[in-house]
Amino acid sequence: MIVSLTLNPSLDRTIIVDRLVPGAVLRTGEPTLEPGGKGVNVTRALTSNRIPSVAVLPVGGREGAELQDLLDAARVDFRALAVAGRTRSNISVVDHDGAVTKLNEPGSALLDHEVAELADLVAECVSAGDWVVMSGSVPPGFTGRQLGGLMSRLTDLGIHLAVDTSGDALLAAVDAQPRLIKPNRDELEEIAGTSLDCISDVIAAATDVRNRGVELVLVSLGADGAVLVGPTGVLVGTSRVEHPRSTVGAGDCFLAGFLSKFSVDETDVDAAMLEALAWGAAATALPGTAMPASDAIDFTNVQLVWQPDLDRPLLAS
């Protein structure tokens, strides 16, 4: 079982425009409204591919009720905790070139007892050896102490913990030593404290994180592919998308694809990496935060690169 924990979920509205012009009145296409939050997206991606997963999340206000309705409609298995705050709403504006402008609300703070109750919900869903993905931004005021305590509570359940977050929460998560982290390039630069300009820089920074006690560092690099640094060494992979439509949620789909294989067979890391690349590429070809099903995932456009050009400049992030 793969369980996701989203501390700051959202309603995600995606609007498509021909060209984003600040200060102008723009005509849009029909908007899409989807359940959001990185952990929620992980469970949605797994569910779309008939892989058992449960999303655990706090909900509050009218937005929280609508979020639950959307998850029900999508037949996503979830456990929701009613909290005092209001579930946030996010807006993504996508232009004809696929460029995404995101407007994300901060969300509402979680009380200490609400965090403890979310951990209790996770405990009800997992058995020893399962994976828990703690993913997405943390609510306002959420401290490193709270995050470390929550991670300790989860690992005490005997589960494998994967973390995908950013900012101060990511730095605190690395110190707490989950089994896996999935930063993108910008997030890995936050950890490293320096720019990462080529694949060799990414590998060096990921290796440093491993030396700090994180077993698997899975780095998504968008059009530059991905890097995995783990106990068996370094893997570099690439993917190709002919007509990208939206990158929102692609990293979540990438992580879901990796765990869909790795959680079943840890010996075949190559297959898990290819699965991650294919799922992430398929997600970018879909609008909004739509999650690809198996018939939309194309493995002919992904590959592992055994002798990568380590000094080739990365594309601008």
The residue ranges of every structural domain in the chain are 2-304
Q: Which of 114, 56, 108, 64 is nearest to 85 (CA)?
A: 108
Contact (CB, 8 A) for 8 and 136: yes
96, pLDDT greater than 90:
no
Q: State how far the Cα of 256 lies from the Cα of 218, in Å rounded to an integer.
A: 12
Distance of CA 74 to the CA centre of its chain: 19
Q: Which of 16-30, 257-271, 273-287 is the most confident on average? A: 257-271
* Fold assignment, 2-304: UDP-N-acetylmuramoyl-L-alanine:D-glutamate ligase (3.40.1190)
Amino acid letter, residue 246: S
Residue 224's pLDDT band, with cuts at 50, 70 and 90, is very high
Contact 85, 65 (CB under 8 A): no
Query: Taking the model in full, what pTM does it have?
Result: 0.93
The pLDDT assigned to 167 comes to 92
User: Within 10 A of 150 (CB to CB), how many other CB atoms are there?
Assistant: 22
Task: Report how far residue 38's alpha carbon sits from residue 11's, in angstroms, rounded to the nearest whole number.
Answer: 12
% of the chain residues with pLDDT over 70: 99
Q: Are strands 32-36 and 10-16 parallel, antiparallel or unpaired?
A: antiparallel
